[in-house]
Amino acid sequence: MYEASFSEVIRVVLIILLIYFGFKLIIRWFGPLLLKYILRRVGKKFGQQFQGFDPSAEKKKEGEVSIDKKPKNTRKSKKDVGEYIDYEEID
C-alpha cells in the first residue's frame, strides 16, 4: 500500500493550482482573440451562403413597379360561437 507524504500532497495541490490559474490566465489573454477569429470565420461562411441572394432583384427590373395584393380570406368565421355571460364581482 502506498503512503503519501505531506510534501508530496502539497506538491500535487500546488501543481493543480498552477494549472488552474495558468489556464484562467491563458483564457483571459487569448480568449478574445480566439472568439474574434471564430466569429470572423462564421461571418465569412454566412456571407458566402447569401452572396448575391436578393429575391426581389430577380423578379423586378429597374423602374418596374409591382403591387402584391393580399389574398382574399376564403374562410369565414362563425359569429355564433356561444353564449356571452356577463360576470359581476361579488364583494
Query: What is the residue whose three cell numbers read 478574445?
Result: 32
pLDDT reported for residue 54: 60
pLDDT reported for residue 24: 95
User: 72: which 3 cell numbers?
Assistant: 382574399
Distances (CA, A) of 44 to 40, 51, 80: 6, 10, 56
Q: What is the pLDDT of residues 59-82, one digit of tens each?
A: 667 788 777 788 777 776 666 667
Integer Cα distance of 62 and 65 in angstroms: 9
Degrees, nearest 5: CA angle 20-25-27: 95
Q: What is the pLDDT of residues 22-50, one digit of tens each?
A: 999 999 999 999 999 999 999 999 888 87
pTM score? 0.41
Indicate the domain borders of the chain: 6-51
Q: Where do the H-state alpha helices sit in 2-85? A: 6-49, 55-59
In single-letter form, the type of residue at position 49 comes to Q
